[in-house]
């Protein structure tokens, strides 16, 4: 009886494509596992928050406004978002954020400059910033060449405009101004009175001050104390000298 040959079955060899897929899946799972472990570790957390350049704004105010906290996600911090949030404070003009791995955030604050001072209702001295914000100040932080604002309502819109104008004028041109008082009229609702350390009285308007301040300094440097008007036209009238009576003349002759 003839022998029947059985066909040999070929062993199935694993497909190279299938092997690569399995390898990729395992690799992705491994990377995902590492990511989960990393983001749960202290390396992904904020460990230090530093503010620098702030003089009028407290650390507590900056922390609250920035939305940052120690222990928060380091990689979730958006520099732009933090910067824009801080600039909503009336004391902060600019802010820059630097992230340093692992976990350190440094924020540099540029505040609006102080342009004047004012006494609050309790008699405490406040610095008025160019943004119009009023902030507490200690004696060591007082710049004596800044004017004092007197008689201004906190909500007066012209007060904020005055602060903006003062910020745009060089310090050397406003250093002699000691006091600024509102003095509105129908023609000039933004009219103000200035008093100088050199004993001049000045009447002008907030909208004209920047253009007129050089004339003011020329008069102060060359003339005796008097009344200066700087509105549509400029004028200067010296204060009248005390009249000498005959009795005074006689005393002088003796």
Q: Are 87 and 94 in contact (CB under 8 A)?
A: yes
pLDDT tens profile 23-73: 787 778 777 776 666 666 677 889 999 999 999 999 999 999 999 999 898
pLDDT value at residue 121: 83
DSSP assigned state of 73? B
- C-alpha distances (whole Å) from 113 to each of 53, 102, 104 are 12, 34, 28
- Homologous superfamily of 42-111: membrane protein fhac (3.10.20.310)
Write down the domain spans for the chain. 42-111, 114-238
Q: Is there a common fold for 42-111 and 114-238? A: no
pTM of the model: 0.75
Confidence of residue 252 (pLDDT cuts 50, 70, 90): very low
CA distance 57 to 187: 39
- Determine the topology of domain 114-238 in CATH: Rossmann fold (3.40.50)
Q: What is the mean pLDDT of residues 92-98?
A: 96
CA distance 95 to 44: 24
At 38, list the tokens. 């990393």
Task: For the chain, give the mean pLDDT.
Answer: 86
């Amino acid at each position: 009886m003839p022998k029947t040959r059985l066909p040999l079955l070929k062993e199935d060899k694993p497909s190279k494509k299938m092997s690569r897929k399995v390898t990729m899946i395992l690799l992705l799972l491994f990377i995902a596992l590492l990511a989960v472990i990393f983001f749960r570790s202290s390396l992904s957390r904020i460990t230090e928050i530093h503010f620098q350049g702030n003089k009028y704004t407290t650390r507590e105010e900056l922390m609250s406004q920035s939305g940052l906290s120690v222990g928060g996600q380091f990689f979730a911090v958006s520099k732009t978002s933090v910067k824009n949030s801080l600039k909503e404070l009336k004391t902060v003009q600019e802010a820059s954020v630097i992230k340093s791995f692992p976990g350190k955030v440094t924020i540099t604050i540029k505040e609006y400059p102080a342009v004047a001072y004012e006494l609050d209702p309790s008699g405490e001295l406040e610095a008025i910033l160019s943004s119009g914000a009023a902030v507490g100040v200690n004696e060591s932080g007082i710049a004596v060449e800044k004017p004092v604002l007197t008689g201004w309502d906190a909500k007066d819109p012209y007060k904020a405009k005055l602060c903006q104008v003062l910020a745009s004028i060089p310090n050397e041109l406003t250093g002699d101004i000691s006091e600024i008082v509102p003095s509105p009229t129908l023609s000039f609702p933004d009219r103000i009175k200035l008093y100088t350390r050199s004993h001049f009285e000045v009447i002008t308007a907030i909208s004209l001050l920047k253009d007129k301040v050089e004339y003011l300094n020329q008069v102060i440097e060359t003339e005796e104390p008097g009344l200066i008007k700087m509105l549509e036209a400029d004028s200067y009238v010296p204060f009248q000298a005390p009249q000498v009576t005959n009795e005074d003349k006689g005393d002088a002759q003796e």
